[in-house]
Amino acid sequence: MTPLGEILARRIAQNGPISIAEYMAECLMHPQHGYYTTRPVFGSAGDFTTAPEISQMFGELLGLSLAQCWIDQGQPDPFVLAEPGPGRGTLMADILRATANIPGFHAAARIHLIEVSDRLREVQAATLHGHDVTWLDSINALPDAPLFLIANEFFDALPIRQFTRDRQGWREHQIGVNNAGLVLGLSAPAPISMLDHRLNDTNPGDIVEICPAAGPVMDEIADKISANGGVAIIVDYGGWHSFGDTFQAVQNHKQVGVLGNPGQADLTAHVDFENLTKAAQAVSVSDLVTQGALLERLGITRRAQLLATNLTEAALESHIGAHRRLTHPDEMGTLFKAIAVFPINQPPPPGFTHDA
């Protein structure tokens, strides 16, 4: 067992089973043994690759969409340019490079990164060398100013709870311990008021997930945008409505068992965009769009062609592959989705629609 596995097994033996949310929080963020706090997680040497790590085009196009909103909203100065869960800082670096020639944008931007891992804060500082950056522990510490925020694969790292419906109520998936190590089990059935709305579209035996932290975070972002203006673009993998078991562990670019190596594998779950949309009060929320469609609307094909003119051989192959990975339905194009949150009297950012 990993050192964190030993710690959790001892805790469970003393106090009883823990929820998946508690397990996930410890595995990802334990100060000494957590995944994000201790490991070089990104890129080919790490365990997984995110869209900004695949190609600079992702951050460039989304950054320009944000900047267009800033212009449409009268170029507020100062404004907060924020990113929760910035990973290596690549997305923010690409946004800043793409917006460098927009008059007044950099001068007005107050860059804020929301990151809990000290180790990743150091990596982000190196990537964003030369920029004035403030780090915060949580969204609610952001200053009161127009907020232009982007989050990619942030919500999928927030801890989830999982439940199986049965005839008497919901049984929570929990982690216990036996001689073989950590094991999954089910609590006794109980009514769960947060899941009342799922009684209509599920049957006994079905699994649903909730992410208790996601709604409050979204609510805070929406509050700031409704009070001060701005926009938030949220990109993640998942769909409209959580259904089934989406809790997964990835290590060395491969899917592994969720209980196998606590603290040494990345743990994520699909993001429930319906939940995020419902939590965003007093603002408009765009229609849900796939990452592929969003990037196409923002002009990724033209941008890819332009970048390709300077490339040959292996670099060109890899660039073509990156375009495909970001947009193709068999790759990230449809699994990843996005919404934008913006003030009620404003149009949605470029790339997004708003039918309601």
Positions touching ligand SAH (CB under 6 A) are 36, 50, 52-53, 84-87, 90-91, 114-117, 120, 152-154, 157
Residues in the chain: 356
* Nearest distance, CB of residue 150 and ligand SAH, angstroms: 9
Q: Which is nearer to ligand SAH, 105 or 154 (CB)?
A: 154
Q: How far is the CB of 84 from ligand SAH (least distance, A)?
A: 5
Nearer to ligand SAH, 275 or 284 (CB): 275
Pick between residue 87 and residue 348 the one whose CB is nearest to ligand SAH.
87
Tell the smallest beta-carbon distance from residue 252 to ligand SAH (Å). 16
* Distance between first and last Cα of the chain: 51
Token pair belonging to 264: 């040494």
Least gap, CB of 94 to ligand SAH (angstroms): 10
Structure token pair of residue 141: 């510490």
C-beta closer to ligand SAH: residue 86 or 343: 86
Tokens (6 digits) for 62: 């989304």
**CB neighbour list of residue 65: distance below 8 Å, 6 or more residues apart:** 233, 298, 349, 350, 351
Q: What is the CA radius of gyration of the chain?
A: 21
Give buried/exposed letters for 166-199 (b at 16+ CB in 10 A, else e): eeeebbbbbbebeeeebebebeebeebeebeebe
For ligand SAH, which is the closer residue by CB, 85 or 350? 85
Give me the least distance between CB of 227 and ligand SAH, in Å please: 22
